[in-house]
Amino acid sequence: MRKAIELSIENVANGGGPFGAVIAKNGEIIATGVNRVTASCDPTAHAEVSAIRAAAAKLGTFDLSGYEIYTSCEPCPMCLGAIYWARLDKMYYANNKTDAKNIGFDDSFIYDELELKPENRKLPSEVMLREEAIKAFEAWSSKTDKIEY
């Protein structure tokens, strides 16, 4: 955790956001990540996602079972989703979402939006060309040599 915190402090000094993350196994750091949203013009370049990407690339797998993530702050909804999809065994965090909200990183609106039906969300959306798109799902469903994830 101290490394994740150290990364978050260094990242602020280097022009990034105040977030750092570490993926480790048995006390050995496998990968790290920092928030580079503004530096890379990538809204998904959060510390946790960056650390997951680095660990998956280094290990050559999308399944990070057996590893843990240490993050300097309670993850946003996107990062929490990525942590679940990566199948990390455990998550540790330092600052919480209220601490983040107090400095301008408020994700509560996303949690609120997820509770609503799509037609009631602030982001307009509509179903389109489902009959065409479902063909990919049908192909996947009948594929015998697929790699499940």
Is the pLDDT score of 69 beyond 90?
Answer: yes
Closest CA to 60 of 33, 37, 35, 31: 31
132 part of the active site: no
Mean pLDDT of 16-45: 97
The most distant pair of C-alpha atoms in the chain lies apart, rounded to whole Å, by 51
Alpha-carbon distance of 75 to 72, in angstroms, equals 9
DSSP string, 63-84: --TT-EEEEEEPPPHHHHHHHH
Residue of 42, 110, 56 lying closest to 87 (CA atoms): 56
- pLDDT tens across 102-127, in order? 999 999 999 999 999 999 999 999 99
Output the average pLDDT for the chain: 96
> Per-residue confidence at 148, pLDDT binned at 50, 70, 90?
confident
CA 12 to centroid of chain Cα atoms: 19
Kindly indicate the confidence band of residue 92, based on its pLDDT and cuts at 50, 70 and 90: very high
The pLDDT-based confidence of 90 (bands split at 50, 70, 90) is: very high
Q: Could you give the C-alpha distances from 22 to 12, 52, 58, in angstroms and in order?
A: 17, 9, 13
Beta bridge partners of 70: 22, 92
Nearest to 47 by CA among 5, 99, 97, 104: 5
Helices (H), the chain: 2-13, 37-40, 47-59, 77-86, 97-102, 108-114, 130-142
Q: Assess whether pLDDT exceeds 90 at residue 149.
A: no
Residue 4 has pLDDT above 90, yes or no: yes
Q: Which of 6, 10, 28, 48 is catalytic?
A: 48
Question: What integer pLDDT is reported at residue 55 of this predicted model?
Answer: 98
CATH architecture of 1-116: 3-Layer(aba) Sandwich (3.40)
Average pLDDT over residues 49-72: 98
